Structure 1
Amino acid sequence: MHRKKWIALVIVLLVFLAGITVEGVAGTYAALRDHPAISWEENVVSGSGNNKIVQLFVSGVISGTQNATGAPSMTEVISEQLRRVEEDASVKALVLRIDSPGGEVVATDEIHSRLLRLKQVRHIPIVISMGSTAASGGYYLATSGDAIFANPNTLTGSLGVIFNLVNYNEAANKLGIHQYAIKSGRFKDIGSPSRPLTDPERQIFQTLVNESYNKFVDVIVNGRNLSRQRVLEIADGRVYSGEQAKRLALIDQFGDLEDATHHALSLSGVENAMVVRYADQLSLSKLLFSMKQHWSNPDPLGIARVLERDSSPRLLYQFMP
């Protein structure tokens, strides 16, 4: 019994020290290289030899926001993976598997810029493989590819920007709830949910949306070699199937992840290569970090994330039915 108490005490101490370590490394981007949540090892999927083709995965909503437990955001994780690809001279091509409805404008653009940097620095081909959904910001990332593969039933398109504002003015008035804003300028409380949106405020938001939309159009024009007029015709926010996208020249070929990988090998200039993925590395620090995430999560039901999404409007390249 005495031995069990000592073991329990050691475990508690290790978790405590891991918590301190995690807090310390989460402060700067440079420290992400040693973050327990970004601890990977290379898993060989197929092939052999000294050359590599790396498969990376963008899954879910694209976000630059860390979760409540301080785990790195998607932007940080993907950027770190792309840094490793960039610094590995044995990597001859990249296959990016996208299964995402898109997400935040800034986070999407940051990952896209990192992909373009990889092409400029390493001059390696990037081949895109679309999953069930690669819409809006997901397609934004796809434009970085030298070739885009999709399934005929892939949901893509939704080319555009959305900016949602929640308004509870009428409900608040019925309940006798009033909010008074003491402000330094007429637009300081722009978008307030407690009063109607004015026409000048709507125009301000529309200008922001238009700027992000024009950036999206530019990305498609440059990435897909289409005329701006043609892109404006098809980028009206609607979603397309893979079949429709191919007819519109938004994708190149039908095929799955394996087909995209074979094509990447053909573009790489090498005859043989290992196909590798970055998988979570099992380690004590990884285990302790996961335990810390589980025990210290102040929002296990995700309620705060829902409330934050409603109260913190942001520009989105996201398919939102």
Structure 2
Amino acid sequence: MDNPAKDSGKKERRSFSRGFWWFLFILLALFAGSSLLGRFLGDGEFNGREKIALVEVTGVIMDSGDIVRQLSNYRRDAEIKAIVLRVDSPGGGVAPSQEIYEEVLRIRADKKPIYTSMGSMAASGGYYIACATDRIYANPGTLTGSIGVIMAFTNASELIGKIGIKPEVIKSGKYKDIGSPTRPMTKTERRYMQKVSDDVHNQFITAVAEGRGLDMKTARSLADGRVFTGKQAQGYKLVDDMGGLEETIQQLAKAVGIQGRPRVVVERPEKSLLEILLGANVSESLETSLWPTQLPRLLYLWLP
């Protein structure tokens, strides 16, 4: 005999399943639709206004490829009159920050104006990038500065000893396993790694001095890892003016002779469904949460 209650339960489950997939489909359709509207309407695709490009540097800087690609393309595009670099980052890896910095210098060498607009934070590697641009705008409450270098190591030798593991290392140079988690660092090794850190720190100080028109003594006095508010940074000549993104765009447009509001061209990165639903960069969150356990690397990064 048929069981009406059982059949009813199956129908409810099928109905719920169909409803869930329809909801997911509608969600994705709305997201895609809003992206297209933003591209065709928000950016003024058909209004004929002169263009300024907006390149966003957000989150921890661990890879420079996409940002350098955007900057390089806009540098070569004759229709792009100028570029705004929107920085909202605590910094990140030394090498990626330097690669972006070098591309900014190429833009300036090609005589294409590029301004920085600082968001809530533009510290360490974020500031390193900004100081290469023609002009820096910050909000009074922006956190910036943190001109310094950090390189962290984990020493797990006591834990390894307690669980009965005895590491064996064969190496061809006395410094080859500096920072190994299986043993404490020697004084000689620490002095050597401090020299490495100091060299990269000096590269940062030189970039700040050259970018901001400061003498090396003044730049060095500000390069002790401190963070500043945007207002404080302006007093130290690390920032030019107070203002948000809109003010930066307006002032840059005026500087390149654009009448009225320019058309702002911005490339939005594609996000995974998980990132869309959570409203966050999942890979970046994992990167920062797992950072202490990763292989040591030189970082222009503010770690409060």
What TM bracket, shorter-length normalisation? Answer: 0.7 to 0.9
Residues 208-237 of structure 1, C-alpha deviation per residue, up to 9 Å, x if partnerless? 111111110111011100111001111100
- Matching residue of 1:313: 296
Q: Secondary structure in 1 aligned to 2:267? A: strand
Which of 221, 228, 242 is the aligned partner of 1:240?
A: 228
1:150 aligns with 2:138: yes
Farther-moved stretch of structure 1 (109-118 vs 44-53): 44-53
2:150 maps to: 162
More relative contact order, 1 or 2 (CA 8 Å, 6+ apart): 1
Q: Which residue of 1 aligns with 2:50?
A: 51
Secondary structure of the residue that 2:126 maps to in structure 1?
Answer: helix
Residue in 2 that maps onto 1:266: 254
Q: Which residue of 1 aligns with 2:34?
A: none
Which structure's CA Rg is the greater one? Answer: 2
Task: Report Cα offsets for 1:158-213 as digits up to 9, x if no partner.
Answer: 10100011111122223322211111222221111111100111122111111111
Contact 1:52–1:273, Cα closer than 8 Å, also in 2: no
In 2, the alpha carbon distance for the partners of 1:46 and 1:264 equals 18
Counterparts of 1:173 and 1:76, CA distance in 2: 42
* Structure-2 change in CA distance of 1:308 and 1:183 (3 Å): farther
Quick check: 1:49–1:272 contact (8 Å CA) kept in 2? no
Relative to structure 2, which stretch is displaced further, 261-270 or 231-240? 261-270
Letter in 2 for 1:319: W
**Displacement of 1:275 after TM fit?**
2.7
**Hey, what's the Cα distance between the residues in 2 that align with 1:132 and 1:269?**
29
One-letter code of the match for 2:187?
D
Q: How many Å separate the matches in 2 of 1:301 and 1:247?
A: 33
Checking the alignment, whether the CA contact within 8 Å between 1:42 and 1:279 is kept in structure 2 is: no
Residues 43 and 84 from structure 1, CA distance in 2 versus in 1: closer, same or farther, beyond 3 angstroms?
Answer: farther
- Residue 304 of structure 1: CA displacement? 8.4
Check conservation: 2:152, 2:296, Cα contact below 8 A: yes
Q: Which residue of 2 aligns with 1:109?
A: 98
Could you say what secondary structure the match of 2:136 adopts? strand
How many equivalent residue pairs?
261
| 8 A Cα contact 1:42 1:276, kept in partner | no
Q: CA 1:302–1:94 in 2, change beyond 3 Å: closer, same or farther?
A: closer
The structural deviation recorded for 1:88 is: 1.1
Partner residue, 1:23: none
Structure 1 distance, partners of 2:163, 2:293, is 20
- Structure 2 gaps of 5+ residues are 1-37, 277-281
**Greater mean alpha carbon deviation, residues 199-208 or residues 96-105:** 199-208
Taking structure 1 as the reference length, what is the TM-score of the superposition? 0.74
Alpha-carbon distance change, 135 to 124 in structure 1, aligned in 2, over 3 angstroms: same
- 2:178 and 2:189 in contact (8 A); partners too: yes
With normalisation by structure 2, the TM-score equals 0.78
| 2:133 matches 1:134 | no
Q: Distance in 2 between matches of 1:300 and 1:94?
A: 27
Q: Are the aligned partners of 1:51 and 1:272 in contact in 2 as well (CA < 8 Å)?
A: no
Aligned residue runs from structure 1 range 92-241, under 5 A: 92-121=81-110, 123-241=111-229
Q: Which runs of 5+ in 1 are unaligned?
A: 1-39, 65-74
In structure 1, C-alpha distance between the alignment counterparts of 2:208 and 2:55, rounded to whole Å:
21
Residue 80 of structure 1 and its aligned partner are, at CA, apart by 1.3
Q: CA offsets per residue over residues 40-89 of structure 1, 9 Å max, x none?
A: 9687546954521111110000112xxxxxxxxxx111111112201210
Residue 106 of structure 1, CA deviation: 0.2
CA–CA distance in structure 2, aligned partners of residues 301 and 209 of structure 1: 25
SS at match of 1:54: strand
Letter in 1 for 2:209: V
What is the deviation of 1:280?
Answer: 4.3
